[in-house]
Chains A and B, each alone.
Chain A
Amino acid sequence: MDREYEIVVGLEVHVELKTATKIFCSCSTAFGAEPNTQVCPVCSGFPGALPVLNRQAVEYAIRTGLALNCEIAEVCKFDRKNYFYPDLPNAYQISQYDQPICKNGYLDINVDGKHSRIGIIRAHLEEDAGKLVHQGSITTTTYSLVNLNRCGVPLLEIVSQPDMRSGAEARAYLEKLRSICLFAGVSDCKMEEGSLRCDANVSVRPKGSSKLGTRVEIKNLNSFRSLERAIEYEARRQIEALEDGEELVQETRTWDEEKQVTRSMRSKEEAHDYRYFPDPDLPPLRIDREWVERVRASMPEMPDQAQQRLINTYGLSDYDANWLTSTPQTLEFFDETVKHYPDAKAVSNWMMGDFSRLLNQNNMEIADSKVTPQYLAEMLRLIEKGTISGKMAKTIFEEMFFTGKSPEEIIKEKGMQQISDQETLQKIIDEVVAGNPKVVEDYKNGKEKAFGFLVGQVMKATRGQANPALVNEILKERLMRE
Chain B
Amino acid sequence: MAISVKQVEQVAYLARLELTEQEKQIFTQQLTAILEYADKLNELDTEQVEPLHHILPIYNVMREDVVQPGPPREETLSNAPLVEDGQFKVPRII
Residues of A within 8 A of B (CB): 19-21, 25-28, 34-41, 44, 52-58, 77, 82, 84-86, 132-134, 138, 141-148, 273, 275, 278, 280, 282-286
Nearest Cβ on chain B to A52's Cβ, whole angstroms: 5
CB-nearest residue of chain B relative to A83?
B14
B86 proximity list for chain A (CB < 8 A): 34-37
B84 proximity list for chain A (CB < 8 A): 145
A52 proximity list for chain B (CB < 8 A): 61-63
Contact B76 A84 (CB under 8 A): no
CB-nearest residue of chain B relative to A144?
B90
Contact B92 A142 (CB under 8 A): yes
Answer yes or no: B16 CB below 8 A from chain A CBs. yes
A26, A55, A144: the one within 8 Å of B62 (CB): A55
Nearest Cβ on chain B to A25's Cβ, whole angstroms: 8
25 pairs, CB–CB < 8 Å, chain A vs chain B: A19-B65, A34-B86, A35-B87, A36-B86, A37-B70, A39-B70, A41-B71, A52-B62, A52-B63, A53-B62, A53-B63, A56-B65, A77-B54, A86-B90, A144-B91, A145-B90, A146-B88, A273-B10, A273-B14, A282-B61, A283-B56, A283-B58, A285-B59, A285-B60, A286-B59
Complex-state Cα separation, A398 to B27, whole angstroms: 74
B92 proximity list for chain A (CB < 8 A): 134, 141-144
Nearest Cβ on chain A to B50's Cβ, whole angstroms: 10
B64 proximity list for chain A (CB < 8 A): 55-56
B68 proximity list for chain A (CB < 8 A): 21, 26-27, 40
Complex-state Cα separation, A401 to B62, whole angstroms: 45
Fill in one digit per residue for B4-40: 1 if any A CB lies within 8 Å of its CB, else 0: 0000001000101000000000000000000000000
- List 11 extra interface pairs beyond A27-B68, A58-B62, A143-B89, CB under 8 A: A27-B70, A36-B77, A37-B73, A40-B68, A44-B76, A52-B61, A143-B91, A273-B14, A283-B59, A285-B59, A286-B60
Complex-state Cα separation, A280 to B58, whole angstroms: 12
B71 proximity list for chain A (CB < 8 A): 40-41
Answer yes or no: B49 CB below 8 A from chain A CBs. no
Q: Is the interface of A mostly helix, strand, loop or mixed?
A: loop
Nearest Cβ on chain A to B83's Cβ, whole angstroms: 9
Contact A28 B67 (CB under 8 A): yes
Contact B87 A147 (CB under 8 A): yes
B56, B58, B63, B91: the one within 8 Å of A54 (CB): B63
Complex-state Cα separation, A86 to B94, whole angstroms: 11
A58 proximity list for chain B (CB < 8 A): 62
Nearest Cβ on chain B to A72's Cβ, whole angstroms: 14
Contact B93 A27 (CB under 8 A): no
Nearest Cβ on chain A to B49's Cβ, whole angstroms: 15
Complex-state Cα separation, A39 to B76, whole angstroms: 7
Nearest Cβ on chain A to B18's Cβ, whole angstroms: 14
Contact A54 B62 (CB under 8 A): yes
Nearest Cβ on chain B to A101's Cβ, whole angstroms: 13
Answer yes or no: B44 CB below 8 A from chain A CBs. no
Contact B53 A20 (CB under 8 A): no
Answer yes or no: B66 CB below 8 A from chain A CBs. yes
Nearest Cβ on chain A to B82's Cβ, whole angstroms: 8
B16, B54, B63, B73: the one within 8 Å of A26 (CB): B63
Nearest Cβ on chain A to B32's Cβ, whole angstroms: 19
Answer yes or no: B85 CB below 8 A from chain A CBs. yes
Greatest chain B CB density within 10 A among A82, A85, A144, A280 is at A144
Complex-state Cα separation, A25 to B63, whole angstroms: 9
Greatest chain A CB density within 10 A among B56, B67, B73 is at B67
Complex-state Cα separation, A41 to B62, whole angstroms: 18
Contact B63 A86 (CB under 8 A): no
Contact B66 A145 (CB under 8 A): no
Complex-state Cα separation, A44 to B76, whole angstroms: 8
Complex-state Cα separation, A54 to B64, whole angstroms: 6
Nearest Cβ on chain B to A406's Cβ, whole angstroms: 40
Contact B62 A145 (CB under 8 A): no
Contact B93 A145 (CB under 8 A): no
CB-nearest residue of chain B relative to A28?
B67
7 smallest CB-CB distances across A and B, nearest first, come from A40-B70, A56-B65, A26-B68, A145-B87, A146-B88, A55-B62, A283-B58
B62 proximity list for chain A (CB < 8 A): 52-55, 58
Contact A36 B53 (CB under 8 A): no
Contact B61 A77 (CB under 8 A): no
Complex-state Cα separation, A129 to B88, whole angstroms: 14
Contact B73 A146 (CB under 8 A): no
A278 proximity list for chain B (CB < 8 A): 53-54
